[in-house]
Amino acid sequence: MPTETAPAYTYPDRDEIRIEPVLHALADPVRLQIVRQLADGGECACGNLDVRVSKSTLTHHLRTLREAGVIMGRQQGTARYNSLRREDLDALFPGLLNGILNAPR
């Protein structure tokens, strides 16, 4: 009997990341909170993110960030981990993340 596996995460390669989807993804307060947590703590399992939204809403926010190229995701066993694509974003848009992350909350 075949076993089901979680779908692979998809996200753009560095040269496919565009500023418009990145800014759209970062404009939402919940997504910005997720990005700040990943910037402060590094890679994090979905269940360990401290956001007050339902699981399905969190999944939507993470997908939006991933598809914009802001974060990467990976599966390890039953856990899904996310990390900020800081190196890619800093190379493409110097100072953008620093400016956003240092803005008053």
Mean pLDDT, residues 73-85 taken together: 93
Residue 101: φ, ψ to 5°: -70, -25
Position 5 pLDDT exceeds 70? no
For 12-32, the pLDDT digits (tens) are 999 999 999 999 999 999 999
Q: What is the pLDDT of residue 104?
A: 85
> Does 68 score more than 60 pLDDT?
yes
Neighbour-count burial of 62, counting CB atoms closer than 10 A to its CB (0-12 exposed, 13-18 middle, 19+ buried): buried
The stretch 73-101 carries a mean pLDDT of 95
Q: Write down the domain spans for the chain.
A: 16-93
Q: Does CATH place domain 16-93 in 1.10.150.80?
A: no
Contact assessment for residue 96 and residue 87, using Cβ atoms and an 8 Å cutoff: no
Residue 65 in contact with residue 97, Cβ under 8 Å? no
With residue 71 as reference, give the H or E element that holds it: strand 71-76
Query: CB neighbours of 53 closer than 8 A, spacing ≥ 6?
Result: 30, 61
Q: Is the pTM of this model over 0.85?
A: yes
Residues 6+ apart with CB under 8 A from 17: 68, 69, 85, 88, 89, 92
